[in-house]
Amino acid sequence: MTHEVTVICDGSSRLINLKRLAGAAAILISDTHSSHKAFFNENSQKFKLVASALGEATNQQAEIHAAILALKQLKVPCKVRIFTDSKYLVETMKGNFSRRANLDLWNELEKIASRHKVEWEWIKGHTQKTSRKDLDLPKEFYELQAIADRVANRVAEKQDFPVDLKNRSEEKVKEILGLSREVSGKFQDSTLNEK
């Protein structure tokens, strides 16, 4: 049985006290249209929001870390669509850009991604200034990308993922996905590592 997961991830690097501090965030969403009811106990989408403070790192490194962070959550092989606003990440993983820097991160990402069938998709970031007619995906994708962006930026700034930020962000994701408050904010199945 193939498990389908959509990932929206983002990385951020901020100049703070003359240091480039980075953070990464990802939202993993189950596919309600795939036929794995035993895989998810309910017939609604479920998600998991994860983030990590990275210490000193560039924005490109943070973008790669965000994809690694997301894929590390999956315990079983899955069909994964990863949406990111990093053309660098997408085009490199598609083989259109060469890997000249960050080779250790690319190798780690390649190793983790090899367990899954991964499709890499670019999503326009910072869409608050973009008219809806210019968007080629449902508005929810852009709203979720904005959440991943905000979380990655905040984690980069604070070098922490505070509980209040996690809770507020999860509530916003639930609202966007149309989930009721009773539905857990985390995957509760065998696909994901619980952390």
Say if 94 falls within a structural domain.
yes
- 168 domain-assigned: yes
The whole-number pLDDT of residue 46 equals 80
In a domain, 192, yes or no: no
Per-residue pLDDT tens, the chain, 195 aa: give them. 578 999 999 999 999 889 999 999 999 998 755 433 323 334 445 888 999 999 999 999 999 999 999 999 998 899 999 999 999 999 999 999 999 999 999 999 999 999 999 999 998 776 544 555 555 677 888 889 999 999 999 999 999 988 888 888 888 888 887 764 443 333 334 455 544
Around Cβ 113, how many Cβ atoms within 10 Å? 17
pLDDT, tens digit (0-9, with 9 covering 90-100), for 30-46: 875 543 332 333 444 58
Burial class of residue 133 (count of CB atoms within 10 Å of its CB; 0-12, 13-18, 19+): exposed
Whether 183 is in a domain gets the answer no
pLDDT at 63: 97
Number of folded domains that form the chain: 1
Q: Is 190 domain-assigned?
A: no
Confidence at residue 134, expressed as pLDDT on a 0 to 100 scale: 52
Q: What is the CATH number of the domain that holds 106?
A: 3.30.420.10
In the three-class reduction of DSSP (H, G, I as helix; E, B as strand; rest coil), residue 161 is classed as coil
Q: Which of these, 56, 59, 60, 53, lies nearest to 25 by C-alpha position? A: 53
pLDDT tens column, 116-131? 999 999 987 765 445 5
Parent domain of 131: 3-177
For strand 19-30 and strand 3-16, is the pairing parallel, antiparallel, or unpaired? antiparallel
Q: Where are the beta strands (DSSP E) in the chain?
A: 3-16, 19-30, 47-56, 78-84, 117-122
Query: Does 187 map to a domain?
Result: no
